[in-house]
Structure 1
Amino acid sequence: MDLKDRCFILMLQNGKQRMSRKAQKGVLIVSIILFVVSLFTPSLEELNFGTHREIMPGYLVLAWGWNAMIFFHPAWCANITWTIGNILFFKEKYRASFYLSILTSLLSLDSYAYPAKIYLGFYLWNVAVNIPLAVALAANRLKPKPGD
């Protein structure tokens, strides 16, 4: 480990290393890309009582997920709060975006209550909707620094 790596670790330990808004936007774009990829990968098995269960791609889960709210599974609402939170972040409404990212992460936890098999698309979606909270926590601030 060279001197540069040691300095970086020390800065992280002291909490002085912060992500710039440009870096945060880049990571949020990765989140959006992961979300889009999750739409076209297998996500969940369809719940039915027959012997054959269909594997649903992410776009079908997104299209039909609002039905789960009838059965008190609000995880689908994480898509709405995630979208609004990202829009607010790109409009520089950082505090509102941060609070929505917390709500999104809490809503996404309910998705694990789904009693069927889960596939790669589900995990990609879950990472995508939780990245904004991770970015906000890693940035360790809500107000922009001068020059951001």
Structure 2
Amino acid sequence: MAPEPMVSIGFIAKRTGNAVSLIRYYANEGLIPSVRTSGGNRAFPRSVIRRVSFILIAQNMGYSLANIKDLLSTLPDNRTPTQADWAKLSRVFNEHIEAKIAALTSLKASLEGCIGCGCLSLERCRLYNSDDKVAAQGSGAQLLDENVQSQFLVSHKK
């Protein structure tokens, strides 16, 4: 099998519609493979175009670059996802989408029950103040360090 053709960073940027700096960043983060030419320039396997597209799709779905790197690390030899790889990865994406749908459906149901109330009560509202565990410590900024609170109070008594 013949080696895959190598292309320039500018070619990858132009074909994916992204800035050269983004392609360089992805390479520096280990998301896409590159090699250095004898002249010190970066060269990329042509298949990196599809890999960059995969990264952009995953980012649009809300995945962090760390999550995407983990997903790509499941592929052997740092390769671009094949059709079979995509089928496996799409199951992960589908689970992610289903979890988002469930969370948004729950939020929608909470909003429908709350819209007429308009209370925004810190004591009662499940949306505005869900599971308030700090309230048991008293009123005020309970999460500030005591030294910071003391300094604030002293400086504002002047």
Into which bin does the TM-score normalised by the smaller protein fall? under 0.3
- Whichever structure has more helix as a proportion of its residues is 1
Whose radius of gyration is greater, 1 or 2? Answer: 2
Relative contact order higher in (CA < 8 Å, ≥ 6 apart): 1
Compute the TM-score of the two structures, normalised by the length of structure 1: 0.26
Compute the TM-score of the two structures, normalised by the length of structure 2: 0.25
